[in-house]
Structure 1
Amino acid sequence: MATYRCENGQIKEKLYYLIDLMFKNAGSEYIVVQGTNYQWQIISQKDVKGIIEFILRDSFAYYGGNLYQQQKGIPQGNNASPQIADLTLAVMEYQYIRNNIQCGHPLSFSLNRTFRYIDDIFHISDKKDEFARKSAVQTSLYNKTDDYSFSVVRYPHYESNIPISMGLNTLQGEIIRIFRNCSLFEHFLERTRQLARYFLHIQYPKEILCSRLYSTLKKASHEYLTN
């Protein structure tokens, strides 16, 4: 599964387009935001673009004795990164749909059944599609690390310095996520078994895993039946 990273210039282009459009539609040359110590700050259109420029430019990584500046993608861990990703993709999505409508492409009218959460897309296909004729949507989880040619450390080892409770809470959260997103029991069972095998591999005792698995499933099934 390939991962595409936008060039910083492309990210700025999309966000600047959005900023220009927002200020134009608002008919204002500045916005007022609440800063530190409950003080109000006046920020101009140019200031907003400068903030975006700074966030994208001021991202560095130190590796192997060398300092590298990030050229692609959004700084990982920055407080503004999720919003930057969401807004960039929102502009790309808007422009794509607008261009399709302008050229009369029939695809544009089916995109009203497309839903996006940051960079994850869920699309309900046309009625002619096979799954739609069955009047049901089946969902399951795909973990892209399954296709990696190398191992990925995903959860803390049982004997690490990280509290055991954090590892077990992570296990519980993953089980609930799998439970909510797998519409078929066999898909849920397959993913849960993979998760359990991984935790056994990183030395979590079988008794503790079984106990947490049982309590989590009991809670998740109760939530499902009462909602």
Structure 2
Amino acid sequence: MTRERKTKPRSSLTEASKEGVKILRALIDILREREETEYKATGVRKWWTVESIEEVALNVKANEDKLIGLKMRTADFTTMYTKLPHQKIIDAIVVAWDRAVEYKRRESKQHAHEKELGFVIDQEGEYHFQVIDRDNTNDSPNLITRSTFLELMTVLITDNHIWNGGDLKRQVIGIPMGSPVSPHFANLFRYAVEAKFVEELLASGKLKEAQACAHTYAYIDDLCTFGGPLPSEQHYGIPMTGDPEPREEEWDFNVIKYPHASSNIPWNQGAAVFKGQLIRTTDTKRTSA
């Protein structure tokens, strides 16, 4: 954080974040379509991100015969949200846009390079990919082109502030955990690294290793693979671990885990925490029975 002038913020990125989520989801839909199409043709999957744990469970169940005998490995990033450099996120956003556009150009030969590609918003407020003549861009004032997209995303990544103790501070590394766009930024950062990792395997003639990544699943800062290689910490450029070590060991303050007068947990969450502990204990007993 860097200290700036002492003044209260008079603006918010909330509405911009909501629109950013819509655009990113439309972009991600294209990327998923691209990678699923290539997976069906080659057996190589470069999009590892899942939307929920249920998606992993369904995929594992559907492929249980293929997974027999394969070793499951996990890894996670203990400080992804707080340590992601802004430029790495912006670079990943550029990769995501270019890969989506490349797929759309390849999908239809009529999408020549003299065409402008981008997203337009419909009457329901949803974004759709569209191709128009560059000479007619003035007829589509709502067209989100590459430059407009990157300008918006750069603001959402770099222009986050917090008012604390009379000081206005700007976040210069990492992304806000409470922002609706942050999970999408994290997923696209990983996608840029993971797609490049798989392509490097293919370029090295390691087709089997690349195909083994087909049963790798990722959700924001957690990874799980059945028999496939995983990118290293050097690939991602941020700390990661495959060991089930407590995250609080990386923090420079003591964590009090149970609600009481001096707890780090707000008093109004006490009942929910207590209920969660009861459910956890019950589930543990059922599992061990």
TM-score (norm 1): 0.58
Change beyond 3 A, Cα 1:149–1:104: same
Deviation at 1:56, TM superposition (A): 1.0
Deviation at 1:55, TM superposition (A): 0.4
Residue 123 of structure 1: aligned partner: 225
Instruction: Provide the rounded CA distance (Å) in 2 between the counterparts of 1:32 and 1:153.
Output: 49
Change beyond 3 A, Cα 1:171–1:99: farther
Structure 2 residues without counterparts, runs of 5 or longer: 1-76, 106-115, 128-141, 229-242
1:145 matched to 2:248? The reply is yes
User: Does the CA contact (< 8 Å) of 1:60 and 1:67 recur in 2?
Assistant: yes
Residue 175 of structure 2: aligned partner: 74
Residue 273 of structure 2: aligned partner: 170
TM-score (norm 2): 0.47
1:140-182 Cα distance to aligned partner (Å, 9 max, x none): 964311564531255643699743xx32323433x4xxxxxxx
Deviation at 1:71, TM superposition (A): 2.2
Residue 43 of structure 2: aligned partner: none
1:15 matched to 2:93? The reply is yes
Residue 92 of structure 1: aligned partner: 193
Change beyond 3 A, Cα 1:154–1:54: farther
Match among 23, 26, 34 for residue 104 of structure 2: 26
Deviation at 1:3, TM superposition (A): 3.6
Change beyond 3 A, Cα 1:23–1:158: same
Instruction: Provide the rounded CA distance (Å) in 2 between the counterparts of 1:86 and 1:23.
Output: 18
Choose 39-48 or 116-125, whichever is displaced more: 39-48
Deviation at 1:85, TM superposition (A): 0.7
Query: SS where residue 179 of structure 2 aligns?
Result: coil
The 5 A counterparts of 1:189-204 are none
1:43-90 Cα distance to aligned partner (Å, 9 max, x none): 422222122111012112345654432222223311111111111111
The 5 A counterparts of 1:177-188 are none
1:61 matched to 2:149? The reply is no
Query: SS where residue 162 of structure 2 aligns?
Result: strand
1:44 matched to 2:122? The reply is no
Aligned length: 169
1:108 matched to 2:108? The reply is no
% same residue: 20
Structural RMSD (CA): 3.7
User: Does the CA contact (< 8 Å) of 2:90 and 2:154 recur in 1?
Assistant: yes
Deviation at 1:10, TM superposition (A): 1.5
Change beyond 3 A, Cα 1:221–1:25: same
For the pair shown, which has the larger CA radius of gyration, 1 or 2?
1
Deviation at 1:39, TM superposition (A): 4.8
Query: SS where residue 121 of structure 1 aligns?
Result: strand
Report which of the two has the higher share of helix: 1
Instruction: Provide the rounded CA distance (Å) in 2 between the counterparts of 1:159 and 1:60.
Output: 28
Query: SS where residue 148 of structure 2 aligns?
Result: helix
Structure 1 residues without counterparts, runs of 5 or longer: 127-139, 176-212
User: Does the CA contact (< 8 Å) of 1:100 and 1:107 recur in 2?
Assistant: yes
Choose 113-122 or 150-159, whichever is displaced more: 150-159
1:20-56 Cα distance to aligned partner (Å, 9 max, x none): 2213322461223358xx4567342222212211101
